[in-house]
Amino acid sequence: MSDMNKYSSIPRATTEASAPVRRLEVDELDASRPTVPAAMEYDYTNFYFGAGDDAFALLAPFDDWWSQVQPAGYYLYELPLHSAPGTRVDVKDTKTGEIRRNLVNFASYNYLGLSYRPEVKAAIKEAADIYGGGSSGSPILSGTTELHRAFTEEVAAFKGKEASLVFPTGYSANVGTIAGLMRSGDLIVADQFAHASIVDGMILSKAKSRFFRHNRADDLDRKLAGFAGKKLVIVEGVYSMDGDVPPLAELIEVCKKHGARLMIDEAHSAFVFGPSGKGVAEAQGVDEEIDIHLGTFSKSLGGQGGYVTGSRKLINYLRGFSRSRFFSCALSPVVVAGLRKSLELVQSEPHLRDKLWRNVARMQQLLAERGVPFGESTSQVIPIMIRDDARIFMIGEEIFRDGVFINPVRYPAVGKHKSRFRMSISAAHTDQDLEEGAETIARVLRKYGICQS
């Protein structure tokens, strides 16, 4: 512990109130297992503020901390893939230098398995022959190719809206849309689990920011009450760390009561939820009652980029005020060509969505049978709840070495004592992938006393 004294001047982050934590009993632990290095008790937030006048003051303590925690578990981030993000992947273990082959992949967003489809790759190659690698310009200057123009219209048509705008990423779609519309003196109220790109858009807009309790219409009502002025409420279609969906009808009612506009980020739900794949708003029958629909192409379409769609007036306004779009290079035409093909497949192969939901149900069953806790998820994003912030990397290392690629998530990405593995299910997973993956995870969790059976 003496090593950690040098960090003691750095304030610890406050511990957020959390659901009951299942504490490991000493006799449940394998005595031969190495203990967690003390440095693992610290996290990024300990290196955010520091005393002194030197802008580099935190670099040395951070480096010192990182040199201990990186090999102790943080190395599980940014592991380089040596294959496409399919249902089986080859991944470099940067700790040992080995390539671990044929791992069951629950880490990639490729919810419909589209990124590596032969048709998508052929479209990409064809575009590369015509346009080369990049667009070499902002979309409002020289960066818009005919592919971009056509795709922008196809996105609006698919979502059943008048118009759309395409951004370089989902992140920039949120930042550009929120800060493009809202100003200092306005009010933005977002769900407390809103993605970082929504939060960053709120900060950039300089509007007053408030957060309502996750999925609680009554709290949204309280947060909107008494504010006279422009109001925007922001929710997600599927929450990216919990895999649950919002009660849209209730939230819409509250927005109407207060004259607030409603925006939904369907990053994880567009192209997979709803009878035609438009998203959770379609699935809940309230698509037309939401003012701004936003999403990303990096998840279900397996590509890259983001979009906002809605009325022509909204899109025309955002075209002029979304700085993250027009001060940034347009998406590569090669990417757009792949996306166009993926969107075509989403529409011509609705059975992919059926397969995805069958796979989700099967995985839920496999996890439940093995007593693996998976939160409140009702989607293809399934959190495997570990809650043990100190040991999640140790557990993650065993799961990785035993043949499953899945990402650990801990504070500050989720609350303290809410560590989890985020599992992404794809339509492309076979029964064998699901069974083998669930069994491997359960076997390791059993060792740590996390599985109940």
Minimum CB distance to ligand PLP smaller for 190 or for 442: 190
- Region from 31-39, 97-105, 140-148, 167-175 binding ligand PLP, contact rule CB under 6 A: 167-175
CB of 41 to ligand PLP, least distance (A): 27
Taking a C-beta distance cutoff of 8 angstroms, is the pair 132, 337 a contact?
no
Minimum CB distance to ligand PLP smaller for 73 or for 306: 306
Binding status of residue 171 toward ligand PLP by CB under 6 A:
yes
**Quick one: which of 230, 232, 229 has its CA closest to 178?**
232
- Pick from 46, 110, 169, 426: which binds ligand PLP (CB under 6 A)? 169
Binding status of residue 296 toward ligand PLP by CB under 6 A:
yes
CB of 198 to ligand PLP, least distance (A): 7
- Pick from 170, 201, 246, 302: which binds ligand PLP (CB under 6 A)? 170
Binding status of residue 197 toward ligand PLP by CB under 6 A:
yes
**Quick one: which of 175, 162, 409, 155 has its CA closest to 303?**
155
Binding status of residue 342 toward ligand PLP by CB under 6 A:
no
Binding status of residue 240 toward ligand PLP by CB under 6 A:
yes
Minimum CB distance to ligand PLP smaller for 269 or for 359: 269
- Pick from 127, 147, 233, 267: which binds ligand PLP (CB under 6 A)? 267
- Region from 15-23, 265-273, 408-416, 436-444 binding ligand PLP, contact rule CB under 6 A: 265-273
Binding status of residue 309 toward ligand PLP by CB under 6 A:
no
Binding status of residue 246 toward ligand PLP by CB under 6 A:
no
Taking a C-beta distance cutoff of 8 angstroms, is the pair 241, 414 a contact?
yes
- Region from 61-69, 154-162, 264-272, 427-435 binding ligand PLP, contact rule CB under 6 A: 264-272
Binding status of residue 270 toward ligand PLP by CB under 6 A:
no
Taking a C-beta distance cutoff of 8 angstroms, is the pair 214, 191 a contact?
yes
- Pick from 43, 191, 219, 236: which binds ligand PLP (CB under 6 A)? 236
CB of 237 to ligand PLP, least distance (A): 8
- Pick from 148, 195, 261, 416: which binds ligand PLP (CB under 6 A)? 195
- Region from 29-37, 68-76, 83-91, 166-174 binding ligand PLP, contact rule CB under 6 A: 166-174
How many angstroms from the chain centroid is the CA of residue 106? 13
Per-residue DSSP letters for 227-284?
--S-EEEEEESS-TTT-----HHHHHHHHHHHT-EEEEE-TTTTTTSSTTS--HHHHT
Helix or strand holding residue 199 (H, E) = helix 196-205
Taking a C-beta distance cutoff of 8 angstroms, is the pair 213, 235 a contact?
no
CB of 265 to ligand PLP, least distance (A): 5
- Pick from 43, 191, 265, 287: which binds ligand PLP (CB under 6 A)? 265
Binding status of residue 332 toward ligand PLP by CB under 6 A:
no
> Residue of minimal CB distance from ligand PLP?
170
CB atoms within 10 A of CB 56: 7
**Residue 104 pairs with which residues in a beta bridge?**
88, 404
Kindly tell me the sign of the dihedral angle through the C-alpha atoms of 113, 76, 306, 174: positive
Taking a C-beta distance cutoff of 8 angstroms, is the pair 414, 98 a contact?
no
281-284: long-range contacts at Cβ-Cβ below 8 A with a sequence spacing of 24 or more?
Answer: 281/237, 281/248, 284/245, 284/248, 284/249
* Per-residue contact string for residues 353-392; x = within reach of ligand PLP by CB under 6 A: ----------------------------------------
Minimum CB distance to ligand PLP smaller for 46 or for 240: 240
Binding status of residue 174 toward ligand PLP by CB under 6 A:
yes
Binding status of residue 108 toward ligand PLP by CB under 6 A:
no
Minimum CB distance to ligand PLP smaller for 112 or for 267: 267
Taking a C-beta distance cutoff of 8 angstroms, is the pair 95, 71 a contact?
yes
Helix or strand holding residue 422 (H, E) = strand 420-424
């759309």: which residue's tokens? 164
Kindly tell me the sign of the dihedral angle through the C-alpha atoms of 83, 356, 167, 409: negative
How far, in Å, CA of 177 to CA of 306, rounded? 11
Taking a C-beta distance cutoff of 8 angstroms, is the pair 404, 435 a contact?
no
Binding status of residue 191 toward ligand PLP by CB under 6 A:
no
**Residues near ligand PLP (CB under 6 A):** 169-171, 174, 195, 197, 236, 240, 265, 267-268, 296, 298, 306
